[in-house]
Amino acid sequence: MGKTKQSIMTILIKQSILFVLLFFTLQLFAQTINKQKIDSIILSTMQQHKIIGVSLGIVKDGKIIYTKGYGTTKVGTFNTIDSTTNFLTCSISKLFTATAIMQLVEQGKIDISKKLTDYIPDFVMKDKRYKDITIEQMLTHTSGLPNIANRHFIHPKHDSVALKDFVKKLGRKRLSFMPGVQLSAKTYSNTAYDVLGRVIENVTHQTYADYVSQNILQPVGMQLSSFFIDSIPVKRRSIPHVQNWLTMKVRATDYYPDIPQDKPCGNLNACTNDLCKWMLHNLAIKDNKINGVLKNSTLKIMWSIHKNIPPYKTSIGLGWWIFQSDKYGKYVFHVGNDPGYSATLVISPDNNFGVVILCNGEYPRQIIWNKLPFKIMDTFGSNWKK
């Protein structure tokens, strides 16, 4: 009988310990991912700024810990957004162009210190200073190339010749700055990244879209992403929205910025599910946990400061922007906007944390870029840090 009582007591003690452990585990989880608070922040922000749709993705310590869609793909409809809903990622696309360039550096096919004309021998401009442009300057927005509004710049007969035709038409243009100019908001150049797309084509003898799809998107597992909007199923597409600045009324627009020559600078169509995979892939490379699309040493170079923007804390690596925050520490990021869309992607390498936000409106871009991701970080308290 004594042994029976002892066995029962042992079982009860073990159950109590398990209950306590479970309780504290659930409490820690609740503190780490306060889903209700995140949802409340996003929904209130959407209401305040008349945002139609948002998709969110959060990664931490090698896992996707939260994805959710808010609102609808189109105003006045019931087509709800989720983590597989497509958005134009805008200038986040530049990260994939920079990665492609650095893959080719690893293969010995590109040297970023060399001249642009070494890789596109027939590249010419009216301004003879173009001969001094280097690949690194193009990656860091210090090439001096103009930031051309490309919507109606060319009309290629086929996508495969878009970048070739675009580069040819640049022969009519002049540089906006001296190559090697001090980095600033004014020197930012979509054109430079489109021309980098042509560099990739010349070196690989593939179209830009084919190369990036085969060597980056597919290995990362971004099966739902594409540079061609027509390849995205209609049910997964979000519709772009614009706001009338006089009436503040928001409406859907028929114009989708699917510009053939802008694939390298801003035309990747993706979803938060895929971009979470992208963040996790880069963090795994950083931790030497995978043989990824880049080497660990290459990613370190890309995430290291190459150019500063005095007197600001913002700097640029290769493709990736870098910020040293007193509150959040070092993080690497890219933001983007195009007619009807805005997006932000932020990674904290030291904390193995990342957040991506996609929106089907350009008008709230400052909120999407500078406020919402950090409000979400704040819901984690100190738990998002290592």
Closest-CA residue to 86 (of 287, 224, 260): 224
Q: Is the pTM of this model over 0.85?
A: yes
Close Cβ partners of 272 (under 8 Å, ≥ 6 residues apart): 55, 56, 57, 67, 69, 83, 356, 357, 358
**pLDDT given for residue 24 in this prediction:** 37
Domains (range + CATH), the chain? 35-378 (3.40.710.10)
| Mean pLDDT of each 10-residue bin along the chain, 386 residues long | 47 41 37 87 98 98 97 97 98 98 98 98 96 98 88 70 93 96 96 97 98 98 97 97 96 92 96 98 98 98 96 94 94 97 98 97 98 95 75
Q: Does residue 89 contact residue 362 with C-beta atoms inside 8 Å?
A: no
The one-character DSSP state at 227 is S
* Integer CA distances (angstroms), 275 to 240, 252, 270, 348, 365, in order: 19, 25, 7, 15, 18
What pLDDT score does 14 carry? Answer: 42
Q: Give dist(CA 257, CA 239) in Å, integer.
A: 11
The two structure tokens encoding residue 28:
């820690």
Report the SS3 class of residue 345: strand
What residue type is 60 in one-letter code? K
* pLDDT score, position 122: 95
CA-wise closest residue to 169 among 182, 156, 188: 156
Check residue 385 and give its pLDDT: 74
Outline where 118-235 has alpha helix (H).
135-139, 162-169, 190-204, 208-212, 218-220
pLDDT at 149: 63
pLDDT at residue 151 in the model = 57
User: What pLDDT, on a 0 to 100 scale, did the predictor assign at position 154?
Assistant: 64
